[in-house]
């Protein structure tokens, strides 16, 4: 027995020493490989992906041997890291569980589970490699390289650019392992990078993302892309257009409002009717005279999340060379209290001539979108889609699970729903009934419409009813309320780490892809 204990201790010591040497080598080389495995039918075995099976052959079966030694059952998103399987390209190999192999669209959940399992698995696997100081990560396609690229690139990015350089986390460089599905990987990469740009724009402090800075930033990024034109309109232009509703919100700020107009002409026929994307661009919302509570008011730097989503989607559309024409319209302003700010009860006149009583200056998003929707009609679009962090009521209704959508057209709604199922960033249709329009118009005696309903409940629906008064009847219209999904602090997605989420950028890009196809 004594000899066995000595032998056992020696063996353990050798194993620990080997592990330390391999870990040191892995850290020094800073390159790891992420492979996937499915749960077997028995639940106690694993099934290698094709890429993992090829790698197992490359290392003479050592991958499977190590998996079995560690215990073959690897549940979904659970990761094991092995060292020293090869002496060439990768010092570290992480194996992550993808769940069951033959899953697909879950009708009840309205999500493609196969794709979402990949996103969450690669996010977990990349995190495990980061934890052992690996900064160069090769990710196999996992059966769907687009989803693998999305999960890994979203999970590997955080907003930290204003931290001291010495305290910034070194973000890993993520690449596709092999040449299989390279085109799909590139699509996923473009989508993820677009969402990360939206996250960056929304998370930037408001003093560093004013209407002017937002306009200049977007121009600098988009002007180098093919078939994209950016026009920055000033306050005088808005006055000439009689955008009294939009301009009323800007009165309390010393920052001049801007109106950003972006054209992407990707269709074979450049004169083809465009899709109009309208994004709410309130770069900081204090509520105006109807001042918000100070708790979490700092998050109102992201009240331009709709605008960020629009510009990021147009960027991706240009990079993907989508065969569609797009016009992006973004009213940009701050909403602050001051001696010159719009007062509760004031009357303003929108571009279409309708008069509005501003009962609550914190219901400002609908005021700036009203004029933008009127202007969108001038382009005779085939569809107008506005996207905005519009109402806290939407967060109450749906939480962070989905974006609320109001639509006048069932076909476009179904296409958007399909896109959300595909991306895992879901949407949910809300009622757009005359009942809610009446709440905004019939009680009003001094004007055509009020910017707040006089009754409690249904706040997101009545806000959509207000916007419907300004959306053109000549084409289909959809309104996306993204207030509930603005922040990733309240959701359970492991590939979004805190801060602003940039949602639902990928869903909007996928929707445009479907229309292009």
Catalytically active residues are 292, 366
Which of 3-12 are b and which e, b meaning 16 or more Cβ less than 10 Å from the residue's Cβ?
eeeeeeeeee
Q: For residue 229, what are the contacts with CB-CB under 8 A and spacing of at least 6?
A: 262, 263
Residue closest to 156 by CA, chosen among 187, 117, 199 = 199
461 HSE (CA, 13 A, CB side): 18
Q: What is d(CA 429, CA 427) in angstroms, rounded to the nearest whole number?
A: 7
CA distance 472 to 449: 16
Q: How far is CA 17 from the centre of its chain?
A: 44
- What span, in angstroms and rounded, lies between the C-alpha atoms of 246 and 64? 63
At which residue do the structure tokens 């060292």 appear?
83
Under 8 Å between Cβ of 350 and 244: yes
Q: For 203-215, give the DSSP string.
A: HS-GGGS-HHHHH
Rounded to a whole number, what is the largest CA-CA distance in the chain?
97
What 3-state DSSP class applies to 385? strand
Pairing of strands 228-233, 258-265: antiparallel
Identify the helix (H) or strand (E) that includes residue 259: strand 258-265
Check: CB of residue 221 under 8 Å from CB of residue 314: no
Beta bridge partners of 500: 487
- Using left for φ > 0, alpha for ψ between -120 and 50, and beta otherwise, residue 276 falls in beta
Sheet arrangement for strand 346-349: 346-349, 355-358, 449-450
18: left (phi over 0), alpha (psi -120 to 50) or beta: alpha
Residue 380 Rama label (left phi>0; alpha psi -120 to 50; beta): left
């Amino acid at each position: 027995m004594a000899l066995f204990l000595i032998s056992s201790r020696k063996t353990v010591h050798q194993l620990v020493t080997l592990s330390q040497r391999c870990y040191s080598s892995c850290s020094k080389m800073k390159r790891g490989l992420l492979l996937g495995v499915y749960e077997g039918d028995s639940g106690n075995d694993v099934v290698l992906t094709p890429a993992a099976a090829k790698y197992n052959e490359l290392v003479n079966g050592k991958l499977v041997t190590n998996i079995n030694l560690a215990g073959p059952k690897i549940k979904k998103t659970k990761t094991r890291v092995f060292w020293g399987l090869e002496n060439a390209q990768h010092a570290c190999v992480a194996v992550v569980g993808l769940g069951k192999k033959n899953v697909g669209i879950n009708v009840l959940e309205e999500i493609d589970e196969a794709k979402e399992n990949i996103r969450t698995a690669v996010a977990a696997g990349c995190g495990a490699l980061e934890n052992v100081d690996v900064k160069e990560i090769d990710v196999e396609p996992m059966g769907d390289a687009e989803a693998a690229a999305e999960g890994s690139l979203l999970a590997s990015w955080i907003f930290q650019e204003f931290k001291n350089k010495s305290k910034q986390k070194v973000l890993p460089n993520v690449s596709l392992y092999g040449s299989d599905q390279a085109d799909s990987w590139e699509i996923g990469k473009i989508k993820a990078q677009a969402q990360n740009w939206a996250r960056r724009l929304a998370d930037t402090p408001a003093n560093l993302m004013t209407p002017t800075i937002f306009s200049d930033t977007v121009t600098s990024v988009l002007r180098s892309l093919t078939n994209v034109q950016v026009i920055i309109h000033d306050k005088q232009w808005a006055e000439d257009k009689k955008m009294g509703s939009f301009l009323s919100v800007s009165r309390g700020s010393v920052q001049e409002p801007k109106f950003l107009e972006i054209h992407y002409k990707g269709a074979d026929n450049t004169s083809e009717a465009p899709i109009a994307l309208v994004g709410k661009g309130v770069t900081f919302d204090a509520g105006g005279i109807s001042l918000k509570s100070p708790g979490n008011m700092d998050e109102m730097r992201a009240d331009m999340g709709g605008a960020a989503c629009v510009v990021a989607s147009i960027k991706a559309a240009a990079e993907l060379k989508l065969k569609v024409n797009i016009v992006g319209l973004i009213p940009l302003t701050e909403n602050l209290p001051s001696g010159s700010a719009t007062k509760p009860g004031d009357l303003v006149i929108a571009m279409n001539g309708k008069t509005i009583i501003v009962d609550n200056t914190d219901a400002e998003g609908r005021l700036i979108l009203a004029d933008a929707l009127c202007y969108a009609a001038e382009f005779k679009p085939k569809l107008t889609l506005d996207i905005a962090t519009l109402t806290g009521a939407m967060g109450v209704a749906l939480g962070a699970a989905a974006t609320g959508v109001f639509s006048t057209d069932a076909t476009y709604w179904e296409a958007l729903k399909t896109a959300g199922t595909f991306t895992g960033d879901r949407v949910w249709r809300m009622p757009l009934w005359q009942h809610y329009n009446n709440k905004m118009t019939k009680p009003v005696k001094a004007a055509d419409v009020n910017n707040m309903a006089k009754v409690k409940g249904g706040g997101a629906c009545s806000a959509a009813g207000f916007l419907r008064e300004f959306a053109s009847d000549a084409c289909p219209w959809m309104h996306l309320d993204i207030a509930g999904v603005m922040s990733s602090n309240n959701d359970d997605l492991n590939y979004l780490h805190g801060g602003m989420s940039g949602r639902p950028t990928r869903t909007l890009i996928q929707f445009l892809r479907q229309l292009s196809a």
